[in-house]
Structure 1
Amino acid sequence: MPSSTASKPTPLQPMFRMQGITKSFGGVRALDGVDLAVDPGECLGLCGENGAGKSTLMKVLSGVYPHGTWDGEIVFDGKPLRAHGVRDSEAAGIVIIHQELMMVPAMSVAENIFLGNEPRRFGGLVDVQAMHRHAGELLAELGLSDVNVALPVAHFGGGHQQLFEIARALAKRARLIIFDEPTSSLSGHEVEVLLDIIEGLKRRGVACVYISHKLEEVARVCDTVSVLRDGRHVTTAPMASMTTDDIIEKMVGRKMQSLFPRTPHAIGEVVFEARDVTAFDPVDAGRKRVDGVSFQVRRGEILGIAGLVGAGRTELLASIFGTWKGRHRGHMRLDGKMLRIRSPRDAIRAGLCLLPEDRKRHGIVPLMAVADNITLATLGAFAHAGRIDADAELTAAQASIDRMRIKTASPTLPIASLSGGNQQKAVLARLLMARPRVLFLDEPTRGVDVGARVDIYELINELAVQGVAIVMVSSELNEVLGVSDRVLVMGEGRLRGDFAIDGLTSERVLAAALGPANADH
């Protein structure tokens, strides 16, 4: 009689297996003996706080960090993988799609899809017709059958460009695609399209690693979830056996009472008022990006601004703060007194501070030290007889680092070496050193992990208790509803609703965002 074990099916061999991966930077261990494995057709969710080691691990796998610069072993298709660069890993079938899209805007869609991998005719010339035909076929597989692949990529939005990146991966015959925060700049509809495409890739046997702070997306598309914390592997489990609360607890190492902590705070008199703010497109001077928006915010109030992509929320804040590149107008008052703001310097001097939407482009100076980034807007406070008191500046910066719980080995390290969440905290620390009366936050938690998000929400509450008026733009409705005292809704550049938070639902906000301007709410 055969043994019971003989009748069990042989388990699938993982497509890849990483064992004991260790990676250090200047004596700081970023990865400490991490193990990871993915089967063909499986989507693995890789979760962890900013700085947990997720991106470092994927850079090891994709050849960004070549073999020999890390310890451990990678086995791909049953054979050791010793990639000395990205080309080696791509030749094996591993492609990474980075958070910042790697398209060349002036080149055509087809040229971007086949960049470095162009089909060629006899004699080595690029076969343009074949390239266009294959590009069209790849996009059709992804549900894009109406794209003119001869047009420059600059003609298309972020959602399309994300799909072009996937088409490029398929053109390289990718068998494993790594998605690093793929939906950070996508609308809700575009996110659904992307997740449906990943489901299709899984059915074709393509393996995926999905890195995201948006745990609802992880739960929606991933079969398995692995959690890293402080460079170490914490757990790997079937997604069906984990809740988002379970994942968060594993990520931060403690049980979270609430994703949106609230502290009671008094709301006082009107501090800031904007009247008839209008902003025109920098290129199409006749197009209004913001159209006659007026609002007030009170002392200690958290005012959320919601709306769909293109609603004009970022343009509104930029116009108020003096950073909008196009023509704009409006009347702003602080404590009833008219403000004349022509530049960010004017705004900061008046008591207004802005956390910009694009942290990398407008929030940090990448090669400057963490401490220097924090004190950048208040250097005058450390100047004596024309010289900067470096010791006083460093002491103040270190106090901000401690207060904001910024994870950095040293305040003198370049801020670019920090994780995204810690960079965001450093930018917030800089704003707080200016002691703002009104704080404008544009997507304050974009690309920030759950633990750092809660830190930012607690800071927002703390500032509201201190009487700071806060205006927060966010594309995440649950964040707007979870943090705000009152919510403005914008659509097509106009104000479409002004709601108290009590009883407010996401359905009501969406109805206002999609509804006619000046509707009675």
Structure 2
Amino acid sequence: MSPILLEMKGIAKRFDGVPALDGIDLAIRSGECIGLCGENGAGKSTLMKVLSAVYPHGSWDGEILFDGRPLRARSVRETEAAGIIIIHQELMLVPELSVAENIFLGNEPTLPGGRLDYPAMNRRAEDILRELKLPDVNVVLPVKNYGGGHQQLIEIGKALNKQARLLILDEPSASLTAAEIEVLLEIVRDLKARGVACVYISHKLEEVAAICDTIVVIRDGKHIATTPMREMNVDRIIAQMCGRELNQLYPSLPHTVGEVVMEARHITCRDPDQPRRKKVDDVSFEVRRGEILGIAGLVGAGRTELVTAIFGAYDGPSEGEVWLEGARVDTSSPLKAIRAGFALVPEDRKQHGIVRDLSVGQNITLSVLERFSSLSRIDDSRESREVDTQIRRMGLKTASPALPITALSGGNQQKAVLAKMLLTQPKVLILDEPTRGVDVGAKFEIYKLMLELAAQGIAIIMVSSELAEVLGVSDRVLVMGEGKLRGNFVNQGLTQEMVLAAAIGQGNQHG
């Protein structure tokens, strides 16, 4: 058995007097992969920020031993020098710098005289990208030229370049395709074989089960269990995380589907950089009152472009008509769309859903501030009461509404964005990847809320990459492929195979 590389003993961390971690113990051996599991807000990311000195020694209680010696790091640079590398949920790339410059950021090779050795840097970056199965990426181009999945793998390339002895992966697959996830898991297996220890944090429990040797579960900042994966399965992990059995992943709540409330006619979106190329090609559909309409398709199918164009948020040329309750409406900008009766919870909550500099409460009320204003002043007490109501309604975990929104876990940020958009009292609610980066317990609560809103007569359009989710909650499913509408199915007896066949242009278009 490999020697213990890391021990964390009695780790405690408080924010404004509220405990976020309460005496956590963790041990990991060289070549071992630990799955760190827990619901949103359980303290997983906080624990890893303590380990990597994002929260420096002295700001928390307890002891960390690395290679048997006390680790009292006061900066990330110190933990990286020891061989502890963290890949955060939020990518730490500089968009304007090249791929190679990002991979070497802070560790650039130099020539005599101090100039950067770009040829050496580019050669090493190309080697790393080949290892990551990304040989088509040009390392001299700005990293902003590449999509979220490629950027996530480039972030992992940075870690590989730093010769990690302990690699922490915090939701590493949130923006990856199925093929990219397989590459990621193979990389982790290779690292384990080389003796690198890994901590893997993911809400995709199938990944955790596939790659991890040991499962550590924490709940509400406390250690619940440490169990070898061979004694676990996904259902047992869920039960330990939630403190209860989740007998069904998708709630059932009767709701009536009524008359057509919204029509999208001939929606076309053009590539901002290549206007002759269509991202969405003449798509028309309708959604009914109280209906949950799922939109499925492979990566690049045009799903997000379609719904952002309907909401007036597409960043390129688009055309088409949007009709609401029998009348054509102007949704050429998000503000006009909100006033018409639409709301959008965007795919990328960090870039488009939250305002990072504002508090939890300020983010929640941002879309309806005029409701609390009088003579150009905000009625703070009325606003606070509404914020408290929404926090209770959404089951949002926060020590205080005054905390920065960035202090919350990803799932709780998502709940805040959802609360913000629901305050606009929409007739049509568009949810783009509503449960990305959200744990199974919180997913259940979001599905339940969707069904409750549908029962109230709100029309819901949900874009999701998870076919099981689309089939689990939708009344009807649209399938897109290469910018075109390839299927329109009532969700009765519909299977993942039927949806995939439509997505690649095979099978019946209606069902």
Name the structure 1 match of 2:322. Answer: 332
Q: 1:208 to 1:335 in 2, by over 3 A?
A: same
1:412 pairs with 2:402: yes
| 1-structure distance, mates of 2:370, 2:145 | 44
Q: CA RMSD for the aligned pairs?
A: 1.9
1:5 aligned residue:
none
- The separation in 2 between residues aligned to 1:362 and 1:203, in whole angstroms, is 39
* 1:221 equivalent in structure 2: 211
1:161 counterpart = 2:151 = yes
Aligned to 2:455: 465
- In the alignment, does 2:31 pair up with 1:41? yes
CA–CA separation in structure 1 for the residues paired with 2:387 and 2:98: 46
Decide whether aligned partners of structure 1 residues 388 and 83 sit closer, same or farther in structure 2, where only a CA change above 3 A counts.
closer
1:427 paired to 2:434: no
Which piece of structure 1 moves more, 480-489 or 333-342?
333-342
Superposition map of 1:482-521 within 5 A: 482-515=472-505
Q: Distance in 1 between matches of 2:58 and 2:172?
A: 29
Q: In structure 2, do the counterparts of structure 1 residues 138 and 436 end up closer, same or farther at CA, with 3 Å as the change threshold? A: closer
Write the deviation string for residues 54-89 of structure 1: whole angstroms up to 9, x where unpaired: 111111111211112111111111222121211111
Select between 342-351 and 187-196 the one with higher mean Cα deviation.
342-351
Aligned 1:77-476 pairs, distance under 5 A: 77-145=67-135, 147-476=137-466
On the 8 A contact 1:494/1:517 being kept in 2, the answer is no
Cα offset for 1:128? Answer: 2.7
- Relative to structure 1, the CA distance from residue 142 to residue 391 in structure 2 (aligned partners, 3 Å threshold; closer, same or farther) is closer
Distance 1:295 1:54 in 2: 42
State the partner residue of 2:52.
62
**What is the CA-CA distance between 1:46 and the residue it aligns to?**
0.7
Which one-letter code corresponds to 2:245 in the other structure? K
Which residue type is aligned with residue 218 of structure 1? Answer: V
- Which stretches in structure 2 are left out of the alignment for 5+ residues? none
Change (3 A) 1:428 1:170: closer
Distance 2:507 2:315 in 1: 25
Match of 2:2 among 3, 6, 12: 12
| TM-score relative to the length of structure 2 | 0.95
The Cα shift of 1:480 comes to: 0.7
Deviation at 1:311, TM superposition (A): 1.1
User: What amino acid does structure 1 have at the position aligned with 2:188?
Assistant: I
* SS of residue paired to 1:304: strand
- In structure 2, distance between residues paired with 1:341 and 1:517: 34
Q: Is the 8 A contact 2:21 2:221 kept in 1?
A: yes
Shift of 1:508: 1.4
What is the SS of the residue equivalent to 1:15?
Answer: strand
* Partner SS state of residue 325, structure 1: coil
Q: Whole-Å Cα distance in 2 between the matches of residues 344 and 155 of structure 1?
A: 26
Task: State the shift of 1:129 in Å.
Answer: 2.8
**C-alpha deviation, 1:268, in angstroms:** 1.1
> 1: distance between equivalents of 2:493 and 2:70?
57
CA distance in 2, matches of 1:151, 1:164: 13
Structure 1 residues 413 and 166, CA gap change in structure 2 (3 angstroms): closer
Distance 1:19 1:237 in 2: 18
- 1:471 and 1:205, CA in 2 relative to 1: closer, same or farther beyond 3 A? same
Deviation at 1:409, TM superposition (A): 2.1
Give the count of matched residue pairs: 511
Deviation at 1:387, TM superposition (A): 4.1
Identity over aligned pairs, percent: 63
- The residue number in structure 2 matching 1:6 is none
CA distance in 2, matches of 1:503, 1:132: 52
* Matched position secondary structure for 1:278: strand
Kindly provide the amino acid, as one letter, of the partner of residue 431 in structure 1. Answer: M
Cα 1:326–1:61 change in 2 (3 A) is same
Preserved contact between residue 271 and residue 469 of structure 1 (Cα < 8 Å): yes
For 1:90, give the aligned amino acid: E
In structure 2, distance between residues paired with 1:106 and 1:386 = 39
Alpha-carbon distance in structure 1 between the residues aligned to 2:106 and 2:390: 46
In structure 1, runs of 5+ residues without a counterpart are: 1-10
Kindly state the Cα deviation for residue 421 of structure 1 after the two structures are TM-superposed.
1.5
The offset of 1:385, in angstroms, is 4.9
Q: How has the CA–CA distance of structure 1 residues 139 and 353 changed in structure 2, closer, same or farther, with 3 Å as cutoff? A: closer
Measured after TM superposition, the shift of residue 163 of structure 1 is 2.9
Structure 1 or 2, whichever has the larger Rg, is 1
Task: Please identify, of 379-388 and 344-353, the stretch whose mean Cα deviation from structure 2 is larger.
Answer: 379-388
Deviations 1:155-182 (A, max 9, x none): 4333333333233222221111111111
The answer to whether the 8 Å contact 1:495/1:517 transfers is: no
Q: Contact conserved, 2:87 with 2:169, CA < 8 A, in 1?
A: yes
Q: Match of 2:264, SS? A: strand
Residues 100-139 of structure 1 show CA distances to partners (whole Å, capped at 9, x for unaligned) of: 2222233333222222212233444333333233333333
Deviation, 1:258, is 1.4
Give the match's secondary structure for 2:328.
strand
**Matches of 1:144 and 1:315, distance apart in 2:** 25
Does the CA-based 8 Å contact 1:248-1:256 persist in structure 2? yes
Compute the TM-score of the two structures, normalised by the length of structure 1: 0.94
Q: Separation in 1 of the partners of 2:273 and 2:440?
A: 38
1:148 offset after TM fit, Å? 3.9
In the TM superposition, residue 365 of structure 1 has moved relative to its aligned partner by: 2.0
Large movers: runs of 4+ above 6 Å: none
CA distance in 1, matches of 2:116, 2:403: 45
